[in-house]
Amino acid sequence: MKRLVILASGNGSLAQAIFDADLANQGAEVVALICDQPEAYVLQRAELRHIESYLIPMVADRDLWNIELENLIAALRPDLVVSAGFMRILPEVITTRFKIINSHPALLPNFPGAHAVRDALTAGASETGTTIHWVDAGIDTGEVIAQEKIEILPSDTEESLHERIKIIERGLIVATIRQLVPSL
């Protein structure tokens, strides 16, 4: 069975989609969740699914935090790490040591970074979507694995567009994990 470790920071709707997917049929299981926010709802989601959770809150010394995160990931022995709304840039020592994918709410290389939905609206883009990509040491610069587009509607706000993106994002990340598992 291939081991998946999920990284998440917030509500956890993306993580929930992965928890709910029947990945055992593909020979994979979620073995742990790592979170950096003590109040994140994703921790409750993992608890309800009996998924072991680890909390590593950010500390003043980022190098110490990076070492703690790297050591924990290594101890969990993942075949794949899935960044599902983990709002931290990972250091190169982690991105080169582990296979990590990320979900981003835009069609990369357009609109990298933390404000992708807002940036797409500000730019007047007619479409956006979601991208699943390999994580490297850059900010949303890793190789694209899969993308799905949606039209930006004239009535879209940042919130409404982000909610529509999340719907397709959940399906795409699960489909991408299913696609990757056999080759891990």
What is the DSSP secondary-structure string of 117-175? HHHHHHTT-SEEEEEEEE--SSSS-SPEEEEEEEEPPTT--HHHHHHHHHHHHHHHHHH
DSSP state of 37: -
**What does pTM read for this prediction?**
0.96
Q: Each residue of 73-87: pLDDT tens digit?
A: 999 999 999 999 999
Q: Which domains does the chain have, with CATH numbers?
A: 2-183 (3.40.50.170)
pLDDT in tens, 26-84: 999 999 999 999 999 999 999 999 999 999 999 999 999 999 999 999 999 999 999 99
Reading across the β-sheet that carries 53-55, which strands appear in turn? 53-55, 28-35, 2-8, 80-83, 100-104, 127-134, 144-151
Active site residues: 104
Q: Which amino acid is at 164?
A: R
Q: Is the pLDDT of residue 22 over 90?
A: no
Q: For 91-104, how does the pLDDT look when each residue is reduced to its tens digit (9 = 90+)?
A: 999 999 999 999 99
Residue whose C-alpha is closest to residue 69's, from 55, 50, 83: 55
182 to 23, 148, 173: CA distances (angstroms)? 11, 22, 15
Amino acid 92: pLDDT: 96
Percentage, residues of the chain above pLDDT 70: 100
Instruction: Read off the pLDDT of each residue in 109-131 and give the average, rounded to a whole number.
Output: 97
Q: Average of pLDDT values for 124-151?
A: 97
